[in-house]
Structure 1
Amino acid sequence: MFVRSASERDLAAIRALLVETWHATYDDIYGERRVTEITDEWHSIPLLKANLAQPRSEFLVADDGKTLGGVAYATASEDGKTVTLKRLYVRPAFQRSGIGTALLSEIEESFPGAERLRLEVVVDNHRAVAFYKASGFAVLDGEAGKAVHASGLAIYNCEKRIG
């Protein structure tokens, strides 16, 4: 897999990867119906297309020429000091192969003036929480720092110093 910038021609494959990954990760936690509602809202083609055009952002895919193995999307604050990772997903068949680490590293390198990288991670997604902690992120306000996302999902707000 190599990491490259996403393009409009990737959008259907990105959506398929996101839907597959969300169902594999969250169906047992939230139920298939709720996961479908979330993916339809958060990972629609029009929204993904708008992400491609977002200023101060980076939209990446991990690609082997046949299949997309992962996707990452992040935006920077106006001053460029804070980057927010909005998406980092690896297709289930490719998890634990270094793709998530490669995408995260490329996101960090894409914002050279940034001082911190922030993200939200669903509390019940234990593998993702462990991945981010192993990648140097800390849960803001410790384990008591649980918040509730607008979707109703319990999340941790995490941050990592970069740059």
Structure 2
Amino acid sequence: MTRVVRQATVDDIWAVHEIARESWHAAYDDVLGPDTVDDVVDDWYTIGDLESAITDTERRNDAAFIVAETASNAAAADEAGCRSAPELDGFAHVVPWPENTAVAFLARLYVRPAVWNEGSGTALLETVETGWSAGFDRVRLAVLADNEIGISFYESRGFDRVETRPSGLAAGLEEHVYEKEL
């Protein structure tokens, strides 16, 4: 199935919020518990924060907030002349790493669990890697050490673990930092 990757718009905010909720529950309910997952999503993915992140990246050439959808969904939305209720498969958010602006920081990459292993995550990641490779020499990300799905995804796409550190999310949790040369 062909995926279309495009810049996110404010019309995508609710879909992005729900993708975050679905994917966090699928990846972290067993680790954090469903109530904590809801609290994290409600805190980290507020509608106002998502709107700010999307509008900020629209004005920048060193950052992006992108979404993936199936080509048939994109074509239907274009024919209807609207994007008021997009059916998105996933999203990614990339900004410069605060300590080294030659490094792209993949702050978020999430895909609806219903379409895991169907190419949306790969399409988003490839867009990040090719769309910003001129401005960055590598891409970096952090993933909770208990997120086997995320770790497997990144390692299978050539990312190397460069650090393990305590997570700020909860006591006793660790996160892995991964990097990939561009």
**TM-score, normalised on structure 2?**
0.81
Pick one of 51, 68, 75 that aligns with 1:62.
Answer: 68
Instruction: Give 1:80 shift.
Output: 4.6
The runs of 5 or more residues in structure 2 that have no matched partner are 74-85
Deviations 1:109-143 (A, max 9, x none): 22122101000011111111011011111111xxx
CA distance in 2, matches of 1:26, 1:48: 21
Instruction: Please tell me whether residue 74 in structure 1 is matched to residue 94 in structure 2.
Output: yes
Alignment of 1:24-43 (within 5 A): 24-43=26-45
Moved over 6 A (4+): none
Higher alpha-carbon deviation: 94-103 or 60-69: 60-69
- Amino acid of the residue matched to residue 133 of structure 1? E
CA distance in 2, matches of 1:91, 1:103: 13
**TM-score, normalised on structure 1?**
0.90
1:148 counterpart residue number: 166
CA distance in 2, matches of 1:25, 1:8: 26
Pick one of 112, 122, 130 that aligns with 1:101.
Answer: 122
User: Is the Cα–Cα contact under 8 Å of residues 93 and 107 in structure 2 kept in the other structure?
Assistant: yes
Instruction: Give 1:77 shift.
Output: 4.5
SS at match of 1:68: coil
SS at match of 1:120: strand
Instruction: Give 1:148 shift.
Output: 1.5
Higher alpha-carbon deviation: 39-48 or 70-79: 70-79
CA distance in 1, matches of 2:126, 2:101: 17
Alignment of 1:10-21 (within 5 A): 10-21=12-23
User: Is the Cα–Cα contact under 8 Å of residues 58 and 110 in structure 1 kept in the other structure?
Assistant: no
- Amino acid of the residue matched to residue 94 of structure 1? V
SS at match of 1:46: helix
CA distance in 2, matches of 1:92, 1:123: 19
User: Is the Cα–Cα contact under 8 Å of residues 148 and 155 in structure 1 kept in the other structure?
Assistant: yes
User: Is the Cα–Cα contact under 8 Å of residues 4 and 60 in structure 1 kept in the other structure?
Assistant: yes
SS at match of 1:81: strand
Pick one of 4, 9, 22 that aligns with 2:24.
Answer: 22
User: Is the Cα–Cα contact under 8 Å of residues 21 and 92 in structure 1 kept in the other structure?
Assistant: yes
User: Is the Cα–Cα contact under 8 Å of residues 60 and 71 in structure 1 kept in the other structure?
Assistant: yes
- Amino acid of the residue matched to residue 8 of structure 1? V
